[in-house]
């Protein structure tokens, strides 16, 4: 197993707030899946593994990366601007999906879920592009990170 991976992920509690049970569940699953399998390599770091603290401060996404022993690696700060539209679209799709699960037909639920996954993939691609030159991640890692960023961003809406 590569040393260029995450072994811990923490979301800033001030950024995240309390969410409904569906969102809480998705967040826990995303963190568990992320820790089980990920590729995460800050380009200015020769070795890991890493711990990541994610937060949103002053409308900016903050990746605070440390080594396993707590030694700081780098704090990366990204504007949320390029992600804002896709975050809003994805969160609206999630709300529609949660509503549909309660009383829609299976066909309707599947259609909404397919659209939701498409928007999620688009957001993950944009995130990878934003991280390029700073942090190398594979697509699966970008998808899980995008889910966590959505959890942080939800509070701001």
* pLDDT tens-digit map of 30-53: 899 999 999 999 988 888 899 999
Res. 15 pLDDT band, cuts 50 70 90? low
User: 3-class DSSP state for residue 101?
Assistant: helix
Within a 10 A sphere around the Cβ of 2, how many other Cβ atoms? 11
For residues 96 and 118, what is the distance between their CA atoms, to the nearest angstrom?
14
CA distances from 83 to 76, 80, 147 (A): 16, 5, 12
For the cut 90, the answer to whether the pLDDT of residue 72 exceeds it is yes
């Amino acid at each position: 197993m590569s040393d260029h991976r995450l072994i811990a992920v923490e979301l800033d509690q001030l950024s995240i707030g309390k969410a409904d049970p569906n969102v809480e569940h998705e967040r826990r699953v995303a963190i568990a899946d992320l820790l089980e399998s990920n590729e995460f390599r800050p380009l200015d770091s020769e070795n890991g593994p890493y711990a990541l603290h994610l937060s949103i401060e002053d409308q900016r996404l903050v990746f605070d990366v440390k080594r396993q022993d707590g030694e700081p690696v780098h704090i990366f700060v990204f504007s949320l601007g390029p992600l804002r539209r896709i975050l809003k679209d994805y969160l609206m799709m999630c709300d529609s999906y949660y509503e549909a699960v309660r009383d829609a037909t299976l066909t309707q639920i599947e259609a909404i879920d397919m659209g939701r996954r498409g928007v999620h993939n688009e957001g993950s691609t944009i995130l990878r592009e934003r991280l390029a030159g700073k942090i190398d991640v594979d697509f699966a890692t970008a998808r899980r990170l995008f889910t966590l960023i959505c959890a942080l961003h939800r509070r701001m809406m």
